[in-house]
Amino acid sequence: MPLIRNPKDFAAGLLFMAFGLAALVIARSYPLGTASRMGPGYFPRILGILLLGLGSLLSLSGCRSGGEPMSRWHWRPLSIVLLSVLVWGLAAQWLGLVVASLALVFVSSVASDEFGWREALLSGAIQAASMVAVFIYGLGVPLPVWPVFLGGGR
């Protein structure tokens, strides 16, 4: 009988634990503070501990309960989605949040076999409006809403 019965849960648990450990290592030099007066290291440490705990439980569950084997790795969709995030990061400063958000949705939508122009346009418009509402008006992040060459203002 194999030690790992559910490889998907086991691998997901290992991934959670890796992110939790990374958060703890990165935040180790940040001051912790207290619960009432949190320092910059408080949230990353708590999140890292929670991810380590959740990952441990998930990996243990992968050893106990059965499941289907892992499917092959799909590189194309992963690469396209990562590329869309890179495009957004490079375009947001110069093309503004609206155009960069539309580009993010359109580029990442190509990763799916069910890509449709209307759905991508609707999803992009909703995301762009949400990003402008949250980041520009809610949080006051100093990014242009529209392309810089068009004025870029709010």
Indicate whether 103 and 140 sit together in one domain.
Answer: yes
Instruction: Determine the 3-state secondary structure of 33 from DSSP.
Output: strand
Separation between Cα atoms, residue 107 and residue 82, nearest integer Å: 10
Amino acid at 29: S
Task: Kindly report, residue by residue over 84-130, the tens digit of the pLDDT.
Answer: 999 999 888 889 999 999 999 999 998 888 888 888 899 999 999 99
pLDDT for the residue numbered 152: 59
Indicate whether 19 and 46 sit together in one domain.
Answer: yes
Whether residue 135 contacts residue 97, with contact meaning beta carbons closer than 8 Å, is answered with yes
pLDDT for the residue numbered 53: 96
Of the two residues 133 and 73, the one the predictor is more confident about is: 133
Indicate whether 38 and 103 sit together in one domain.
Answer: no
Indicate whether 83 and 58 sit together in one domain.
Answer: no
Whether residue 51 contacts residue 23, with contact meaning beta carbons closer than 8 Å, is answered with yes
pLDDT for the residue numbered 13: 94
Q: What is the mean pLDDT of residues 3-29?
A: 91
Say how many domains are in the chain.
2
Indicate whether 46 and 111 sit together in one domain.
Answer: no
pLDDT band at 18 (very low <50, low <70, confident <90, very high): very high
Indicate whether 47 and 79 sit together in one domain.
Answer: no
Q: What is the mean pLDDT of residues 3-22?
A: 90
Q: Residue 44: which of 68, 64, 28 has the closest Cα?
A: 28
Instruction: Determine the 3-state secondary structure of 38 from DSSP.
Output: strand
pTM for the model: 0.62
